Amino acid sequence: MKKYIFFFFLHLVAFMVIAQEGNKNLTFKEYLGYVDAFHPIARQAAIYELSAREKLREARGGFDPELYHYSDKKEFDDKFYFFHSTTGLKVPLWYGVELNAQYDLANGALLNPENDVPNQGLNTVGIKVSVLQGLFTNQRMADVQQAKVLMNLAKAERQKQVLKLFQKATLAYWEWSAATEIAGVYNSSYQLAQEQFQNTKKLFEQGAKSAFDTLETFTQMQNRLNLLLEYQAKSIEKRNKAANYLWTEEQEPVQIPEGITPETIVGYAYVSSGVDSITSFIDNLKEANPELRGLTYKIQEVEVKQKLQTQYLLPKLDLKYNILNEGFALPGETFQADYFTNNYKWGINFSYPLLIRDARGARNQSILKVESLTLEKDQRYLEITNEINALLQNFVLVSDQITLGADLVENFRRLFEGERTRFFNGESDFFVVNRRELSYLSYQAKLMDLHVKQIEIGTELDVNLGIIPGK
């Protein structure tokens, strides 16, 4: 991270300096690197996943061993009644089992007989087992399982946010590039219009051209200047939009200096690995697409809850058995089979609501929720698959249009330059030259729009396939 920060500010300072002296190119790779390192959404997504991990840590705390102690002593009117002290350790296990170790000290003339222990104290080692309800699934286990599912859900949500971020940033960068390219085209057109006006003016002074031709070329020069200013404004707008995704580590927004230019979009072809391997990507779509994965984890979360609620249909039956021994030492040789039947404490707890309407109602709601989420997932899978197929077809069609558009632009350039030569040789009129140039400019702008459209389709395709756009 420190390396990223260093190079980020190094490049930024360099851009500022060079922007004052001339143009500096901000590559697409550098741009995405800054987005990845410092954009708030990218950082928030990571925090969301870390929060889910801490939730899992919290749930696992239900299985932490618990050390406990309490004491009770009574004296009144110079008379000692009793003293009772208990120190112990509880260790909950994964299933409905709990281990317990305890040491008791007690004395006093008025001590409750139930609490009476040997002079050296009484140690107890025991076990508690939930035989029916809670044996294979209980609240502690469900909390951990749900936390694990939520952590996976957080990862899917993080991926979804990152994919959308890179999609928007990629499109913003190339829209800036296209606007800059078109502004450059109209700047060249304006320079040509100035040249044509000066040449026509000289020919008018020589009597070879009329005053109307001079006025026509001057009007064309004004029109090209107006178009140049219009597209320069669009370029500034798109540059500022691209800057929305650039931030510093201190979460301060970064403005792209005026002298910084993007890579040219001319000749750029957006590459999506999903285009060449679409079958394998669709086969793994439910695991790759973050939205579908998120629905899978939501179903799993409800299924964990449903499993726990099914346990509540069973009666509660807890069995407890404790071995008793004087002091801290083990009974040694006396620790034989009959020892367990003479030195023990056991108990049983049983309860069962006769109608169990609350448990049945909660479980049935979970079953319906799973069914609803499953139907939603199936519907979204169908919609996303159809959308991918449509995007893929459009991507191929637009790619073919770009190839054809590049040829058209080249042919219109030749027609325009040839018509200009004919005009200055007196073989054509300015109206035809202007029409040729407008066609040339129009198809150059259309070609830029096709490049942007291809990137827009390609990034949307990648997002649906679970691929980070632009990488």
pLDDT tens, 385-431?
A: 999 999 999 999 999 999 999 999 999 999 988 988 887 787 877 77
Please tell me the least confidently modeled range out of 25-39, 158-172, 197-211, 322-336. 322-336
DSSP 3-state of 252:
coil
Residues 46 and 161 in one domain: yes
The answer to the question of residue 30 being in a domain is: yes
Which pLDDT score, from 0 to 100, does residue 5 have? 42
The answer to the question of residue 197 being in a domain is: yes
Residues 194 and 265 in one domain: yes
DSSP 3-state of 17:
helix
The answer to the question of residue 368 being in a domain is: no
Q: Is the dihedral of CA 438, 188, 176, 225 positive or negative?
A: negative
Residues 128 and 38 in one domain: no
Residues 108 and 55 in one domain: no
Taking residues 228-251, report their average pLDDT: 92
Q: Which domain holds residue 99?
A: 65-140+310-355
DSSP 3-state of 245:
coil
Q: How many domains does the chain have?
A: 2
Residues 283 and 176 in one domain: yes
Residues 81 and 187 in one domain: no
Q: Which two tokens stand for residue 426?
A: 């007196």
- Give the domain CATH number at 240: 1.20.1600.10
Please tell me the least confidently modeled range out of 124-128, 317-321, 335-339. 335-339
Residues 105 and 203 in one domain: no
By C-alpha distance, which of 172, 220, 174, 183 is closest to 198? 220
Which pLDDT score, from 0 to 100, does residue 365 have? 95
Q: Which two tokens stand for residue 239?
A: 């540059």
Taking residues 33-54, report their average pLDDT: 84
Contact predicate 381/293, CB 8 Å = no
Residues 166 and 239 in one domain: yes
Mean pLDDT (the chain) is 87
Please tell me the least confidently modeled range out of 52-56, 70-74, 105-109, 195-199. 195-199
The answer to the question of residue 147 being in a domain is: no
Residues 264 and 325 in one domain: no
Taking residues 15-39, report their average pLDDT: 74
The answer to the question of residue 336 being in a domain is: yes
The answer to the question of residue 16 being in a domain is: no
Residues 184 and 242 in one domain: yes
The answer to the question of residue 300 being in a domain is: no
Distance CA 101, CA 115 (A): 17
Q: How, if at all, do strands 66-76 and 79-92 pair?
A: antiparallel
Per DSSP (E only), the strands in 312-395 are 316-326, 344-351
Residues 206 and 286 in one domain: yes
Which pLDDT score, from 0 to 100, does residue 401 have? 95
The answer to the question of residue 339 being in a domain is: yes
With a pLDDT cut of 70, the percent of the chain lying above it is 93
Which pLDDT score, from 0 to 100, does residue 111 have? 84
Residues contacting 400, CB < 8 A, separation 6+: none
Residues 199 and 232 in one domain: yes
With tokens 């420190």, the residue in question is: 2
Distance CA 93, CA 100 (A): 11
pLDDT band at 216 (very low <50, low <70, confident <90, very high): confident
